[in-house]
Structure 1
Amino acid sequence: MASQLPRQVKAFNAYINGSSFAGRADTVTLPSLALMLEDHRGGGMDAPIKLDLGMESMTALVTLSDYSADIIGLIGVPETPLVFRGAVQAQGGNAEAVVINMRGMLATTEFSEWSPGTKSTKALTFELSYFRYRQNDVQLAEIDIINMVRSFGGVDQLAALRAAIGL
Structure 2
Amino acid sequence: MSTPTFALPRQLKAFNLYFDGNSYAGRCDSITLPKIALTTEDHRAGGMDAPKKLELGMEALTASITLSDYDPAIISLIGVDGIALVARGAVQRQGAAAEAVVVNMRGMLTETEFSEWKPGGKSTKTLTYELDYFRYRQVDVEYVEIDIINMVRKIGGVDQLATQRAAIGL
* 1:59-74 matched pairs, under 5 angstroms: 59-74=62-77
Task: Normalising by structure 2, report the TM-score.
Answer: 0.96
SS at match of 1:162: helix
Per the alignment, residue 98 of structure 1 pairs with: 101
2:131 and 2:98 map into 1 onto residues whose CA distance is 28
Matched, 1:4 2:7: yes
Per the alignment, residue 35 of structure 2 pairs with: 32
Per the alignment, residue 132 of structure 1 pairs with: 135
1:91 and 1:116 map into 2 onto residues whose CA distance is 40
Q: Which amino acid aligns with 1:128?
A: L
Identity %: 69
2:6 and 2:157 map into 1 onto residues whose CA distance is 28
Cα RMSD (Å) of the superposition? 0.7
Q: Name structure 1 gaps, 5 residues minimum.
A: none
Give the Å deviation of 1:46. Answer: 1.3
Per the alignment, residue 168 of structure 2 pairs with: 165
SS at match of 1:5: coil
2:53 and 2:73 map into 1 onto residues whose CA distance is 44
Q: Name structure 2 gaps, 5 residues minimum.
A: none
**How big is each residue's C-alpha offset from its partner over 1:35-65, in whole Å with a ceiling of 9 and x where there is no partner?**
0010001122111100000000010000000
Matched, 1:117 2:120: yes
Task: Normalising by structure 1, report the TM-score.
Answer: 0.98
2:82 and 2:150 map into 1 onto residues whose CA distance is 13
Matched, 1:17 2:20: yes
* 1:150-161 matched pairs, under 5 angstroms: 150-161=153-164
1:166 and 1:43 map into 2 onto residues whose CA distance is 34
1:140 and 1:88 map into 2 onto residues whose CA distance is 15
